[in-house]
């Protein structure tokens, strides 16, 4: 069983997790705080404290996992630069993990989604856009992707087959991208809009991807694809997933081609 450190700063939540052989069957060591715009100040002290608490040095790690995106541009850069610095100094590979997949896994672990349910994680992308994808969990809580990761308007998500099908089959919507009224139309939301239900569909806006689930996804990748170079990248080759930049670049390319 490998030693893996995971880092996530893609949303308002800042979390780090440590997987060690001793706790692999019992759980994961994690520290998480909700601290928007404080990730730079908090992240390294959190990592240092977690490693010291469990008497693990950087040289003992087998890999470092980081949130590759999509998510907050600043948050992704913080996680990547921190992971790069630690990995480069300790000669470790990096494992990029999807923020949306991590959020979906966190939803299952925290009871925000049920086994065999369709989960739609969505993160606010600002500028009236959201990042989102769709997954299905099996009876054991394992996820399978049902579509690609998307960047679209909330209205486009509201008109997608996944939300239309919610009338026939309950879904679990999680993440800050669900704050838009068009996505919760017809749902009576109480208090701080944390939870709402319509039929058997559940929406949890104040849900975040957590490093606890990222490190388990990284451990799976490590064990199943240890010889697959695509799963492990050098610190200098790591780049975040900036979906908005990619779309803008494609548009510029099409214009130039014309």
pLDDT at 27: 65
Do 4-99+209-257 and 111-204 fold alike per CATH? yes
Dihedral through CA 181, CA 186, CA 190, CA 194, nearest 10?
-50
The pLDDT score that the predictor gives to residue 139 is 85
pLDDT of residue 250 exceeding 50, the answer is no
> In the structure, what pLDDT confidence band is assigned to residue 258 with cuts at 50, 70 and 90?
very low
Stated pTM of the model? 0.88
C-alpha angle 90-39-102 in degrees, rounded to nearest 5:
75
Of 163 and 144, the structure prediction assigns the larger pLDDT to 144
Q: Which is nearest to 54 in space by CA: 36, 27, 14?
A: 27
Q: Provide CB contacts within 8 A for 161, sequence distance 6+.
A: none
What digits encode the pLDDT tens for the residues 109-131? 999 998 888 999 999 999 999 99
3 state DSSP class of 10 = coil
Q: Which CATH number fits domain 111-204: 3.30.420.200, 3.40.50.300, 3.90.550.10, 3.40.50.2300?
A: 3.30.420.200
The CATH superfamily holding the domain 4-99+209-257 is: ATPase, nucleotide binding domain (3.30.420.40)
Residue bearing the bigger pLDDT, 197 or 170: 170
Mean pLDDT of 231-248: 78
DSSP string, 77-129: HHHHHHHHHHHHHHT--EEEEEHHHHHHHHHHHTTSS-TT-EEEEEEE-STT-
In 3D, which of 187, 229, 227 has the Cα closest to residue 205?
A: 187
Residue extents of the structural domains in the chain: 4-99+209-257, 111-204
Q: Is the peptide bond before 169 cis (omega within 30 degrees of 0)?
A: no
Distance of CA 160 to the CA centre of its chain: 21
Could you tell me where the DSSP H helices lie in the chain?
39-53, 73-90, 99-109, 154-158, 161-164, 211-224, 243-257
pLDDT band at 170; cut points 50, 70, 90: confident
118-124 vs 130-132, strand pairing mode: antiparallel
Asked if 24 and 88 count as a contact pair (C-beta separation under 8 A), the reply is: no
- For residue 108, pLDDT beyond 70: yes
Q: What confidence score (pLDDT) does residue 186 get?
A: 55
């Amino acid at each position: 069983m490998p030693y893996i450190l995971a880092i996530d700063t893609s949303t308002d939540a800042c979390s780090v997790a440590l997987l060690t052989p001793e706790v692999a069957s019992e759980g994961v060591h994690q520290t998480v705080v909700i601290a928007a715009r404080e990730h730079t100040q908090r992240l390294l002290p959190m990592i240092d404290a977690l490693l010291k608490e469990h008497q693990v040095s950087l040289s003992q790690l087998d890999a470092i996992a980081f949130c590759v995106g999509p998510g907050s541009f600043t948050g992704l850069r913080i996680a990547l630069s921190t992971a790069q610095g630690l990995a480069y100094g300790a000669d470790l590979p990096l494992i990029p993990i999807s923020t949306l997949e991590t959020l979906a896994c966190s939803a299952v672990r925290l009871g925000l989604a049920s086994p065999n349910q369709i989960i739609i994680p969505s993160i606010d992308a600002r500028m009236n856009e959201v990042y989102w994808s769709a997954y299905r969990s099996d009876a054991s809580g394992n996820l399978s992707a049902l579509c690609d990761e998307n960047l679209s308007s909330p209205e486009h998500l509201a008109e997608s087959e996944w939300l239309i099908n919610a009338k026939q089959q309950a879904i679990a919507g999680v993440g800050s991208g669900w704050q838009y009224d068009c996505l919760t139309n017809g749902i009576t939301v109480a208090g701080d809009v944390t939870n709402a239900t319509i039929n058997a569909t559940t929406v949890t806006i104040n849900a975040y991807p957590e490093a606890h689930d990222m490190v388990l996804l990284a451990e799976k990748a490590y064990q199943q694809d240890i010889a697959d170079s695509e799963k492990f990248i050098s610190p200098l080759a790591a780049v975040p997933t900036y979906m908005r930049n990619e779309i803008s670049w494609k548009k510029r390319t099409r214009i130039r081609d014309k």
